[in-house]
């Protein structure tokens, strides 16, 4: 989280940094949920991603293809993107 906050401060400015600090404080006390989405920052196969997460102490609950909307508004499965749910 500290690395993410530093990234926000350097690349998005003080307003974005302070907004996330506020959100983080609310999450610490259970009033908010923070979902970090790294879809544009890192890509690996599902097997590699699960192995990486498990090496960090996370346990896979479920993994499935991400769902998007096409131009006609239909729900379609993403070709490359996956969604994961891990527990500690």
Give the pair of three-digit tokens for residue 86: 């891990």
pLDDT of residue 34: 79
Domain ranges across the chain: 1-36, 39-88
- What local confidence, expressed as pLDDT, does residue 77 receive? 93
Q: What is the pLDDT of residue 54?
A: 93
More confident site: 41 or 68: 68
The answer to whether the predicted template modeling score (pTM) of the entire model surpasses 0.85 is: no
Task: Give the H/E segment covering residue 88.
Answer: none
Q: 3 with 24: CB under 8 angstroms?
A: no
Residue that the structure tokens 């530093």 belong to: 6
Place 22 in a pLDDT band, splitting at 50, 70 and 90: very high
33 vs 28: CA distance, rounded Å: 9
β pairing state of 75-87 and 59-69: antiparallel
Confidence category of residue 38, pLDDT binned at 50, 70, 90:
low
């Amino acid at each position: 989280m500290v690395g993410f906050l530093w990234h926000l401060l350097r690349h998005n400015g003080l307003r974005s940094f302070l907004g996330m600090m506020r959100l983080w404080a609310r999450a610490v006390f259970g009033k908010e949920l923070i979902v970090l989405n790294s879809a544009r920052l890192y890509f690996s196969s599902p097997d590699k991603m699960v192995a990486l997460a498990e090496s960090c102490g996370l346990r896979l609950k479920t993994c499935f293809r991400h769902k998007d909307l096409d131009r006609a508004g239909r729900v379609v499965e993403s070709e490359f993107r996956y969604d994961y749910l891990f527990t500690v």
